[in-house]
């Protein structure tokens, strides 16, 4: 009986439905939608959030251009980043742009508009660039691969006209890996680790050779270098690291991002101590209103506390929108919102073809 219960607990079905971080988006977002509607009623506009980051499409809920955001950030804070226009792109022209911008392999390629790690890839050589060009159908970004050991998500906001902001969430990311036992293949190790098991079908399609490897005992094999939850990364609560030193580092960046007051910096750094000094870090991406306080996906975090935190962050968005409205910054109209949604789904359909 004990063995049967152990098998049940390790089953994909049991793990998925007893850990809220794995709930389908259409279920996990139900409370968030209700919170949004609550503040929308208070604001007398369901699209109040769009005035918080008026220079980002929809304020950063959907359809935002990554290059638009990168262009508003100080150069020291981001990797070398270039936009590739798909319609004009050839392998030769892309390689020339990479060389001219002093980007070297490995590098990161990702759609200019995208979400949840969609078509984000680490590219190791010219052949893989050619493969990516054949695969992608929309404009995309190429940027330096940042090989720093610690990956964080830092949610930050600033009230308009205030010189200082606040950090409300720090998430420490642990990318997907397995530990060898000296005799099991990577595939077997993934089968025995629920978080990795959810990724196994993807690995069978794309990394079949890796699955055959047998790591030495104690050897850690990083399976996925992209720090995205949908790719198996573990999100850990790092809020104990929030302090005034870190807030000053992000104040310096955010004050140069005119028209952007709320969002999450996804970054890599050498250490938190050095990050507090503003050293040895690069922001890989900035996400606007749709950003969640990623620490809530810590496996030890309760679902109740997670939704309380989400409520508090929507309250901050609501408060910033009130300030913006007093300054004359209006939210999207119904017509503009409909157009944004239509264009976004049209884009995503094209990107997935």
Residue 117: CATH number of its domain? 3.30.1490.20
Q: Answer yes or no: is 286 within a domain.
A: yes
Whether residue 113 sits in one domain with residue 166:
no
| Per-residue pLDDT reduced to its tens digit, 266-288 | 999 999 999 999 999 999 999 99
d(CA 352, CA 327): 40
Contacts of 316 (CB under 8 A, 6+ apart): 157, 168, 262
Strands (E), the chain: 81-84, 107-111, 121-123, 140-144, 150-157, 166-174, 177-179, 220-222, 234-237, 262-269, 281-287
Q: Is 343 within the bounds of a domain?
A: no
CA-CA distances (angstroms) from residue 46 to 34, 51, 173, 340? 11, 11, 32, 14
Tell me, yes or no, whether 334 lies in a domain. no
158/170 Cα distance (integer angstroms): 16
Based on the domain organization, do 133 and 275 belong to the same domain?
no
Exposure string over 306-342, b if 16+ CB within 10 A, otherwise e: bbebbeebbebbbebbebbbeeebebbeeeebeebee
Note the pLDDT of residue 3.
62
* DSSP letter, residue 159: -
CA distances 296 to 17, 44, 326, Å, are 17, 29, 32
What digits encode the pLDDT tens for the residues 156-174?
999 999 999 999 999 999 9
96 band by pLDDT with thresholds 50, 70 and 90: very high
Residues 245 and 215 in one domain: no
Q: What is the pTM of this model?
A: 0.91
User: pLDDT category, 14, cuts 50, 70, 90?
Assistant: low
Does residue 237 form part of some domain? yes
Q: Please check whether residue 107 is in contact with residue 123, taking contact to mean a CB–CB distance below 8 angstroms.
A: yes
Instruction: For residues 211 and 243, state if they share a domain.
Output: no
- Residues 152 and 299 both lie in one domain: yes
Q: How many other C-beta atoms lie within 10 A of the C-beta of residue 61?
A: 23
Residues 70 and 184 in one domain: no
Residue 52 placed within a domain: yes
Tokens of 32: 């968030």
Interhelix angle 126-135/91-100, nearest 10 degrees: 120
Instruction: Decide if 15 is inside a domain.
Output: no
Looking at the structure, tell me whether residues 61 and 208 fall in a common domain: no
**Domain total in the chain:** 3
Provide the 10 A C-beta neighbour count for residue 286: 27
DSSP β-ladder status, 107-111 and 140-144: antiparallel
* Domain membership flag for residue 20: no
Please give the average per-residue pLDDT across 226-251, as a whole number.
Answer: 92
**Residues of the domain holding 215:** 177-222
State the pLDDT at residue 160: 96
| Residue 120 in domain | yes
Give the pLDDT of residue 10: 59
Do 161 and 251 reside in the same domain of the chain?
A: yes
Domain with 241 in it: what CATH number? 3.30.470.20
Clarify whether residues 279 and 263 are in a common domain.
Answer: yes
- My answer on whether 127 and 244 are in the same domain is no
* 141 shares a domain with 214: no
136, 61: one domain: no
List strands edge to edge, sheet with 140-144: 81-84, 140-144, 107-111, 121-123
CA distances from 57 to 8, 116, 174, 328 (A): 45, 17, 30, 18
């Amino acid at each position: 009986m004990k063995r049967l219960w152990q098998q049940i607990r390790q089953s994909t079905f049991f793990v998925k439905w007893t850990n809220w971080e794995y709930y389908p988006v259409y279920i996990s977002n139900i409370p968030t939608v209700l919170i949004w509607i609550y503040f929308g009623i208070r604001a007398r506009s369901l699209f109040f959030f769009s005035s918080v980051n008026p220079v980002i499409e929809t304020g950063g809920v959907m359809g935002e251009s990554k290059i638009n955001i990168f262009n508003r950030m100080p150069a020291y804070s981001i990797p070398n980043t270039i936009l590739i226009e798909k319609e004009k792109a050839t392998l030769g022209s892309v390689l020339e742009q990479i060389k001219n911008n002093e980007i070297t392999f490995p590098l990161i390629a990702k759609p200019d508009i995208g979400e949840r790690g969609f078509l984000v890839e680490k590219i190791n050589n010219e052949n893989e660039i050619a493969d990516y060009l054949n695969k992608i159908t929309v404009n995309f970004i190429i940027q330096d691969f940042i090989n720093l050991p610690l990956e964080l998500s830092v949610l930050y906001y600033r009230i308009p006209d205030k010189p200082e902001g606040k950090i409300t969430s720090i998430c420490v990311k642990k990318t997907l890996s397995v530990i060898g036992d000296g005799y099991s293949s990577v595939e077997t190790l993934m089968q025995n680790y629920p978080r990795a098991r959810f990724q196994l079908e993807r690995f069978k399609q794309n990394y079949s050779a890796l699955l055959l490897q047998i790591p030495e005992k104690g050897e850690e094999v990083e399976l996925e270098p992209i720090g995205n939850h949908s790719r198996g990364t573990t999100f850990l609560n790092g809020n104990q690291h929030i302090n005034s030193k870190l807030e000053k580092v992000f104040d310096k960046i955010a004050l140069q991002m005119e028209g952007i007051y709320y969002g999450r910096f996804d970054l890599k750094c050498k250490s938190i101590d050095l990050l507090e000094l503003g050293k040895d870090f690069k922001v890989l991406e900035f996400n606007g209103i749709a950003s969640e306080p990623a620490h809530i996906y810590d496996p030890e975090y309760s679902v109740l506390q997670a939704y309380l935190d989400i409520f508090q962050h929507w309250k901050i968005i609501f408060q910033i929108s009130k300030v913006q409205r007093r300054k004359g910054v209006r939210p999207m109209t119904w017509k503009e919102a409909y157009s944004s949604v239509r264009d976004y789904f049209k884009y995503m359909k094209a990107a997935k073809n």
